[in-house]
Amino acid sequence: MCSKCSTTAAPSALSRRDFLKLSGAGVAGVFAIGVMGSGKVLAQGTLSSEFQTAADKYGVPVELLMALGYTNARWETPPVETGDYEPGDLHGMGGYGIMALKQDPATNTLGRASELTGIPEADLKANRAANIEGGAAVLADIQGTTKPSDINGWYDATAKFGEGDLFANQVYETLQDGASRETGSGENVTLAPQPAAEPRQFYTAQAASDQYPGSTWYGAHANNFQYASRPPTIDRIVVHVTQGSWSSAINWFKDGRAFVSAHYTIRSSDGFIGQSVREDDIGYHCRDWNYRSIGIEHEGYVSDRSWFTDAMYRSSAKLSAYLCKKYNIPIDRTHIVGHNEVPGNDHTDPGNYWDWTRYINLVKEYAGTASAPRPNTYSQVVDNRTAGRFRVSSRWVTSTYSAQRYGSNYRVLKKPSRTTGNAKFKIKVPSAGRYVVQARWPAVDGYNTATTFMIRTANGWVRRQVDQSKNGGRWVSLGAHNLAAGDGWWVQVSSKSPRQGYIIADAVRIVKR
């Protein structure tokens, strides 16, 4: 275990420290043709063929298996040591191989895979093809005897496989967008976009007004941080790498067994920021400097430079610039440091592939603005009273009943309709790209619990179902979507619903980070 992250000392694990010293070349070269402990002869094939073979054998969509592997590890097999479950270690959430098979007191997908396939656990940990087969077997077993032809029918099984909707949404966003890269072994692998794949509505709250405005709040378990009031003592920013997926890190900080947390976690693909601990509270991320620092996690592995994207660098640098200006932290390598540079520490993240020169220059650039930098390069709010940008039939009446409303009033459809009569918001998208779409409504008991928002993306219409009896008076994320440039009625509130209750149309917002 890491003895330098939490406030409770624990024995250190040399294997994890040794793993962090491995290079990308070391990762790529650990597999070969051979005989597994089970006696099965396993020839190393192409990654694409290994996914296809496992998909065919267990009746799982190959695209879903590929999206799982990409979300977990960008189709690279991490060293075995990174899969160890280690409470007290900031990166000890566990998960072996491309499919992140786990073995901890609460989850044993590794053992389940071994039982289902007959492959020894040691081989499932270390052999790529075996690991993919094990993941397919477990996912198929979770799904049960009925294997849906619609990829969205696998969402619940994916959530159970990855321990929550947050993970499933990240997988399904990968499905929507597709992925393509050259692996460390030189193989070009492509997952074509799957426009039909639909992440589900996941209720998240925007950060409090005194926290970073570009973050989304997820929170951490009370075991994993210390309530405090310490702004005068904050004089360091510590850069970490998750050694796993973005969602696995967020979930780890919410797990009461972890005893660790960082304040912010940044996603590789788009720079999206999740916040787990308030800045003035003490996160358990680097022990000796916990009391004086803010910890920023970055999705990925130190052994694979492809995780450190331009979107990640820029999003993180904007966050660091904001923190430096807010707490008067000098922008230099004495005050913005890696986890490996904290005194008494035994980690090596962010590793040799982290470009410190680029990062510090970006922090200086963003901090040079007249005010604390905000991460949004574009934002637009359309209220139900915005002239020329809201359209609705006379069946939607005006109400001022709830003080949670945005603006002076909102629109109400008292009874779901059997015919189309949507409330429409006209959205201007200045340039094609990925935007976060948000909606706001007042929440009252009796308001509709299955309201559908429709979003026109570059790949077609996407639907998000929300409960309008909850989460009132705040911006609720409807997900990040690829939007085409233009100006149109691209966010709508459906007049149809499978449930009774007032349907609300109040305000929507798009944000480009």
Reading across the β-sheet that carries 423-429, which strands appear in turn? 390-391, 423-429, 486-493, 451-457, 460-466
Average pLDDT over residues 174-181: 93
- For 460-485, how does the pLDDT look when each residue is reduced to its tens digit (9 = 90+)? 899 999 999 988 888 887 877 889 99
**pLDDT value of residue 199:** 87
Task: Please name each of the domains of the chain with its CATH number.
Answer: 31-191 (1.10.530), 205-367 (3.40.80.10), 378-512 (2.60.120.260)
- For 52-73, how does the pLDDT look when each residue is reduced to its tens digit (9 = 90+)? 999 999 999 999 999 999 999 9
The catalytic residue among 297, 299, 341, 365 is 297
Average pLDDT over residues 171-188: 91
For Cα atoms 164, 168, 174, give the angle at the middle one, nearest 5 degrees: 155
Average pLDDT over residues 375-404: 89
**pLDDT value of residue 164:** 86
Whether residue 369 has pLDDT greater than 90: no
Cβ neighbors of 230 (< 8 A, separation 6 or more) are 280, 281, 282, 291
Q: Are strands 293-298 and 236-241 parallel, antiparallel or unpaired?
A: parallel
**pLDDT value of residue 249:** 95
Q: Which structure tokens are listed for 393?
A: 């039939």
pLDDT band at 513 (very low <50, low <70, confident <90, very high): low
Average pLDDT over residues 32-44: 45
pLDDT band at 417 (very low <50, low <70, confident <90, very high): confident
Active site residue 297: yes
**pLDDT value of residue 423:** 96
Average pLDDT over residues 112-116: 97
Average pLDDT over residues 422-441: 92
- For 145-157, how does the pLDDT look when each residue is reduced to its tens digit (9 = 90+)? 999 999 999 999 9
Of 31-35, 117-121, 379-383, 492-496, where does mean pLDDT reach its minimum?
31-35
Q: What is the pTM of this model?
A: 0.68
Average pLDDT over residues 205-223: 81
**pLDDT value of residue 10:** 32
Looking at 152-277, list the stretches that DSSP marks H as alpha helix, in order from N- to C-terminal side. Answer: 155-161, 165-177, 246-254
pLDDT band at 375 (very low <50, low <70, confident <90, very high): very low
- For 271-329, how does the pLDDT look when each residue is reduced to its tens digit (9 = 90+)? 999 999 999 889 999 988 999 999 999 999 998 999 999 999 999 999 999 999 999 99
Whether residue 332 has pLDDT greater than 90: yes
Kindly report the average pLDDT of the chain as a whole number.
Answer: 86
What separation in angstroms does the CA of 372 have from each of 124, 178, 326, 356? 48, 35, 7, 22
pLDDT band at 267 (very low <50, low <70, confident <90, very high): very high
pLDDT band at 4 (very low <50, low <70, confident <90, very high): very low
- For 14-23, how does the pLDDT look when each residue is reduced to its tens digit (9 = 90+)? 333 333 333 3
Average pLDDT over residues 3-9: 43
Q: What is the 3-state secondary structure (H, E, C) of 25-68?
A: HHHHCCCCCEECCCCCEECCCCHHHHHHHHHHHHCCCHHHHHHH
**pLDDT value of residue 420:** 79
- The SS3 call for residue 295 is strand
Tokens 């491309």 correspond to 98
**pLDDT value of residue 358:** 95
Q: Are strands 433-440 and 507-512 parallel, antiparallel or unpaired?
A: antiparallel
pLDDT band at 512 (very low <50, low <70, confident <90, very high): confident
Answer for the pair 339, 240: CB distance below 8 angstroms, yes or no. yes
**pLDDT value of residue 435:** 87
